[in-house]
Amino acid sequence: MNSTIPSIRIADLTVAYQRKPVLWEINLSIPQGSLVGLVGPNGAGKSTLIKSIMDMVPRISGSIEINGESLAKQRYNIAYVPQRESVDWDFPATVLDVVTMGLYREIGWFMPVRKQHRKRAMDALTLVGIPELADRQISQLSGGQQQRTFLARALVQSANIFLMDEPFAAVDAATEQSIIQVLREQQAQGKTILVVHHDLHTVPEYFDHLILLNVRAVAWGPMQSTFTPENLRRTYGGRLTLLDEVTEAMRRRNVVK
């Protein structure tokens, strides 16, 4: 794959719900092999941007390219991890069943799951640290275990792009560190990962690229040039009460010199 072609290129994207703009004239590109944080206040359009890339919401205008091609040609190359709140956790399925769903494009609907498919699903569960939960019903899992299950489902797809909507929500610190470690390992293999994230304190620690979003793309690019007090003020305005604390955290990590 040509590394000079962005993994995701968005041009003039506008999305509105009931005539109210949610995303307005978004123009940005995400380089291949980057681990990208998508950050902004509540209602900024972060989940909508992820869903727009997946063509799950209608656009008023704009275009999106995946690896230089249309989504229709590259959909197999994207693994999507939705918000936990959007999942029916009462659906009668085991952890292994859920992970194997990531292989349905390869297996085919209503076709039997073979031994090789189950092994790949188990390998993915091992990567995220919960192989012993394979036969557990997903409704019986903790929030962190559920997030690990959906990460395993994404891993088993062997996609080159991961879109993750708040994967650290409702997880403990150990699970969060485990997930970010898995994402770094995937990045080391050349994967591109876009993560909706809320904790500004961990942004410079977790990601090497950043998108600051508040209906518009306020700023985007490498972490050191994008995660600045001025860009944070432009993104959050008066709602950012932790700005001084975050700025100090950035200094400690040598992000702001």
What is the secondary structure of 165-183 as a DSSP string? ESTTTT--HHHHHHHHHHH
Task: Decide if 196 contacts 166 (C-beta within 8 A).
Answer: yes
The share of the chain scoring above pLDDT 70, in percent, equals 86
Does residue 241 register a pLDDT over 80? no
pTM of the model: 0.88
Largest CA-CA distance found in the chain, in angstroms, rounded: 57
Where in the chain does DSSP place strands (E)? 8-17, 20-30, 35-39, 61-66, 78-81, 161-165, 192-196, 209-214, 216-222
What digits encode the pLDDT tens for the residues 4-43? 899 999 999 999 988 788 999 999 999 999 999 999 998 8
What digits encode the pLDDT tens for the residues 115-127? 788 888 999 999 9
Looking up tokens 């995946």 gives 66
The 10 Å Cβ neighbour count of residue 95 is 26
What letter does residue 111 receive in the DSSP assignment?
A: P
For residue 185, what is the enclosing H or E element?
helix 173-188
Looking up tokens 């190359």 gives 77
Q: What pLDDT is recorded for position 118? A: 85
